[in-house]
A and B are shown apart, each in its own frame.
Chain A
Amino acid sequence: GDSVTQMEGPVTLSEEAFLTINCTYTATGYPSLFWYVQYPGEGLQLLLKATKADDKGSNKGFEATYRKETTSFHLEKGSVQVSDSAVYFCALSVSGGSNYKLTFGKGTLLTVNP
């Protein structure tokens, strides 16, 4: 079945540090890939997405590139801020089906200290 594996947390960084959160996937079809973010006390929000191989999704300084050859979609940001502290979820949705059902990873808690 479809699955997403993302790096275990928690991740603690200082402000302005470089961030990488690894995400790899297994899918029976050709997936679209997503990163969702959950800030404390809030619902999940879409951060970025990519729908085909070599696409780069980007938003708020975060980037992730859809790598079909390594089945990966790693999240990166060059300089994190305290306000980036949140839980980050990698997810996939298999194209070809019409249900838009998302399969999530376990999430990675990021804490950014000033």
Chain B
Amino acid sequence: DTGVSQDPRHKITKRGQNVTFRCDPISEHNRLYWYRQTLGQGPEFLTYFQNEAQLEKSRLLSDRFSAERPKGSFSTLEIQRTEQGDSAMYLCASTLPPAGELFFGEGSRLTVL
């Protein structure tokens, strides 16, 4: 399978713990995006990278959130000191401009108890 892959698919954690999600984009795609989706809502943009550079961050991305893409390939999204409000599906997508279409992974579901 050469699509976008995300790991883990589901993470259950206690409030206050740190969690990290990984995204492996389609190999030739230089753009990578993170979105958050809560129940009954559409995905909301968090941040995106072109190669290893983080070019935009949403105001939704508080100081407890950090994303990296150190070698311009896979990316990680870390949430520190998790809160119950962080419970959501975290989606990763990639693309190769100028195609424009975003290819999404299946998501990583976070449950904070």
User: Measuring CB to CB, which residues of chain A are less than 8 angstroms from any residue of chain B?
Assistant: 4, 32, 36, 41-46, 49, 51, 89, 91, 93, 98-107
Contacts and interface: CB of A to CB of B under 8 A. Distances in A.
26 contacts: A32-B100, A36-B104, A43-B3, A43-B4, A43-B104, A43-B106, A44-B93, A44-B102, A44-B104, A45-B104, A46-B101, A46-B103, A89-B42, A89-B43, A93-B100, A98-B97, A100-B100, A101-B33, A101-B56, A102-B43, A102-B45, A104-B42, A104-B43, A106-B40, A106-B41, A107-B42
Contacts of B104: 36, 43-45
Nearest to B33: A101
Residue from A43, A49, A99, A104 having most chain B Cβ neighbours under 10 A: A43
A106 B42 contact: yes
